[in-house]
Structure 1
Amino acid sequence: MNKSCIIAIIVTLVLPLPSSVKSEDRTRIRIVVFLNGDARWFLSEEIDLPTPEDRDAFDNYTKILELNKEALLSDFSTMIQNLVIRASNLTGREMTAVQFDMKTMVVGINCEVGVIEYSFLWTNFSRIDGRLMTLGDVFQGGFYMYENDTLVISYPQELRLIVASPPPDSNLTNEVVWRGRRDFGPGEPKMVLEDRRTSLILFLSRTELATDEELTISGQLSPPLGGEPITLTISGPSGAREISLITLQDGSFHLSLTLDEPGEWEFLVSYPGSGTYLGCKSELGKVYVREGFVRYLLRSPFVLAIIIFAVLLSSFWLVWSFRKRKRAIGAELLATDYEMVEAVLRKAGGAMLQSGIRSETGFSGAKLSRILKEMEQSGKIRRERKGREMVVFLLKRQ
């Protein structure tokens, strides 16, 4: 398919201009691309109308076109459909041409330009591969533009331009423009567009849980963009709060938490977007939280009283057990002290100064005096004073 075919169609369909209109006409092709790959084509002839006579002549001319509109549209649709069938065979994509229309108008501040416009919808005009859309494979036979021709291709803001070949004369916001004279190569003009839309999927590990149970929140940002900021909004019975997260390298995110208040909770994840990609929000997730067993016990006065009583009873038992054990350990240690004193006396032949026993055992004076007193009362030793010293005698057991 080539441009000269399109120009020929317009020249064939548009009736000869009145001889009174002397201005040179211009051809303008505008292709409006949609997200689904379809494209609306507008083929127009623009005629300058600098004088009132030109405007009157054009007005009379449009009346003639209106009288012949049905026949003109029939011829136009037949020719375009033949071109679309050829393009479909070349690309291997099923295509159709529908919604044909023709209208005339006068534009400009002072109504100085007359326009005759034909339009139609070309379905499946673009090739879509995942997130990429490619335009231009229908022009496999090349594309030619004359001196006063203009080609405009516009696309929605949800797409961004990656490649335009050959470089356009103007690259505006969501629109590129080529002006004649130009002779495009096979498959040109060509454009590659990327889908800027994103999506967020939110996963909740539970739809119902208790206040003392853990909830795992995870999700996926598509396309898989890593290191992007997202916001988790959590709304509970007493209000809402936000948690800032960063997506992992594969675009996923994960979070575990507990919800401390019974009732219905709602979760929403949002992505603010970037210079390249648009923002998005997930669907609303809901979780019902019931009161946990521990929380229920703590909130019940009767159960709380039982717990306090049990704690106090356990404390008393622990104190009593500790003291009993301490006394047992003390008695065991004391018996060991007696044996140590007896061993020292036997080693000394059954008698020894009290100061010597203190040196051998390492006991303090007070502790040794207490031990010797108890041993003397039990009949194990006998003490006698000699001068300023006390002599301790080990008594033989009966």
Structure 2
Amino acid sequence: MNRPGSVGLVVLLVLSSVLAVGTTASLAAGGPGDAVSTTPVEPQTGAAIAPQDSRGLLRQETREFDNTTFEIRVHENGSATWTFRYEQRFTDDENATRTRENFEAFAEEFRANETGLYDRFTNQSRELTRAGMQESGREMEATNFRRSVRVEDQFTPTGVVEMSFTWTNFADVQDDRIVVGDVFDGVPLSADQAIVIEAAGDLTFRSIEPDDAQYAGGSLTDAESVRWSGKREFIDGRPRVVFDRPDSAAIGDGNAGLLGGNLVPILVGVLLLVVGVVAAVWYRRYGPISDGESASDDAEPTPPAGGAATGAGSTVDPATDAADDSESIPNEELLTDEDRVVKLIRENGGRMKQVNIVEDTGWSKSKVSMLLSDMEEEGTISKLRVGRENIISLEGFEPEATKSPFEE
């Protein structure tokens, strides 16, 4: 699959925004004799364009802020509200007052005007959703842009810059669950960064990967959000979160009554109507049975089931025979993704490298990775890490741990 723009998918937007946001911190970095400027310095053009440079630059350009958090609030319809939150603490030192004054001067300009910082954020958000649409195949759009800046007087007064937007169809909505992760591609975090994924509405967490996230509550299902923080780099398709969907009766546009208790009498009425129509048709066709007809019917032998005839004159309906033959022919398009993977591995001797599965199916790395994780949880396949390769095996074809999995 062609994936232009999806390399470092999330990193691209984060980088573009942080390059600009990082300039605001320079307002607070000057000494007591420096002049106050409320105009953000323009970052060098092109620095946020090259995906191959994004990971290193991401770690560099947030150094002026104390903390950076990427909050993703997932809704029941699969859309998500993304909020980038940047914090700068006004520490209790000789420059704290000057630092706060400079930040408040920037805040006034940021509230009053759509600065270059905010324009870059909205443009890169739209680029990100377009890249995500190519990666996932879902229709996506960036909408509802918002910005805010304030000083929170906590134990340590902190300047906070937030920019957010709504990403439609961000998550994959399935029958019984909502899955987040297929648009992520090798997301890095630096020591002062964190990713937080929140459950909106009646969504509840079913599973998370990696499973070392922090959350409040006695269990994952009781948590309202999960958090990964500190220096690390996620593999493709991670972080991955699976939510349980609420009851369908709770979802809709005001027709919950129709989907709830009122549906039962409607179905009963429809069933009675169908039974009545069938009875009327039968009566019209066969009419009342007289005693003579009953005797005649009793004298006739009952034909074999299915209308089969005996004797030399018996025939077989060619259309029925052809239909049976067509049903016996396997149709590749009717196979599920799991069945296709199992069939492919079986055709290759019972085990394959994960990278070869990606090549043979033509699917993206993130899709194959998530699919194999689900299959491993279900016990369909097993995975063994050998060096930098994942070896995927069917039951009974697992390689020995003491030698190469493809050693004869």
- Length-normalised TM-score, structure 2: 0.47
Higher strand share: 1
Tell me which structure has the larger Cα radius of gyration.
1
Higher helix share: 2
